[in-house]
Amino acid sequence: MNKTTLLSRLAREHGTPLFVVDHDVIRSNYAEFKRFLPRVQAYYAVKANPDPAIVHTLYRSGASFDVASIAEFRLVYENIREMPGRARQDFIWDKVIYSNPIKDQRTLEELDAFKPLVTYDNLEEVRKVRRHAPHAGLALRIRVPNTGSMVELSSKFGASPAEAVDLIAAASDAGLVVEGLSFHVGSQCTNFENYVQALSTSATIVEEAAARGFNLKLLDIGGGFPARYDRHVRPFRELAKIINSELDRLFPKSFEILAEPGRFMIATAATLVAEVIGKAERDGKRCYYINDGIYHTFSGILFDHCQYHVKAFRRGPREISAVFGPTCDALDVISQAEELPDLKIGDLVFSENIGAYSHASSTWFNGFPPAKVFHYRR
């Protein structure tokens, strides 16, 4: 059965809008990551899509997890089994990093019992961790170039390289242990030079820290690994070759290397199926209204700076058309320029590669519910 036939059948059986997650693709993406970056342990960024079934599949594949809220930590903790023969705290250490540099005190107090690995990037956070989670290990997040990334993160998080060793010293003086460094080159990073510069900066800081008596042993190279939304995105193996070369040149084999792929793992693993619920002609352009939109699975258009193409099951001559979501908000515009055939009310359309930062941000705005989720396992 080909993909479009399967999607049509699932939509008839379960209704629309329907968010179809293909777990074979998730496993394939994880395997690709490990094949081309064998030295790097993948900590799936749960925020990309926190569905428990996705967490289960990645855990069984060998992934660890990057969480950025206490809710995400609980989700991982409650939905995966501890490894046989391992103490719970060791299990959490190996399987979870709390990568949000800013944490409220209640979160830290709950995390402390697990002796977690958490990130920080400023002196005030050192004081909070010392007071509320003194058993935590720390990774200092540094600011690195985000040029060319779809979502820039360096203006919100990251210590400047110039203050890095002083912040490591401050944490040590507070009685805390700094295990290593972390960075993030920006989400959907297609400028591979960002990684080269970030790794070089990290190596310099590691050397400076060692000269002052602080021996770091861990580097978290963050996320940003680009999903293949289209043919213009260079293959992952090209980026991996660059990263591997720099890791081997700059860091000894004993150094533990982590990464936080989210989009890379899940973006290409989900497809949305929606239904045409309205049709109009406006200013000479055909307009379609479907039963999913910006406030739901297409939220990535607004929050993630991503454009998802809408495709039709129906064949026929295509023309440039607008596609809108179902709400009464004028913001609910999916696209002003999709090539679509002459569709009828009730026809189905679909959008591929919509697994990351999409359904995870769905709301109930205007009374419209999020899409149903169907987990497809061959």
Does residue 328 carry a catalytic annotation?
A: yes
Which of 189, 287, 306, 328 does the annotation list as catalytic?
Answer: 328
261 touches 223 (CB < 8 A): yes
174 and 38 fall within a common domain? yes
What are the tens digits of pLDDT across the range 190-209? Answer: 888 999 999 999 999 999 99
Q: Is the pLDDT of residue 87 over 70?
A: no
Q: What is the pTM of this model?
A: 0.93
Q: What CATH number should be reported for the domain holding residue 221?
A: 3.20.20.10
192 and 232 fall within a common domain? yes
Half-sphere exposure of 346 (CA within 13 A, CB side): 1
Cα distance between residue 196 and residue 341, in whole Å: 45
247 and 279 fall within a common domain? no
Residue 167 belongs to what domain range? 23-266
- Token pair, residue 37, equals 């970056």
Average pLDDT, the chain: 93
Q: Is the pLDDT of residue 105 over 60?
A: yes
What are the tens digits of pLDDT across the range 62-80? Answer: 999 999 999 999 999 887 7
221 and 294 fall within a common domain? no
- At residue 55, the pLDDT reads 94
Number of domains in the chain: 2
Cα distance between residue 263 and residue 359, in whole Å: 13
Q: Is the pLDDT of residue 84 over 60?
A: no
Cα distance between residue 93 and residue 83, in whole Å: 12
222 and 193 fall within a common domain? yes
138 and 73 fall within a common domain? yes
232 and 124 fall within a common domain? yes
362 and 228 fall within a common domain? no
Mean pLDDT of 88-114: 84
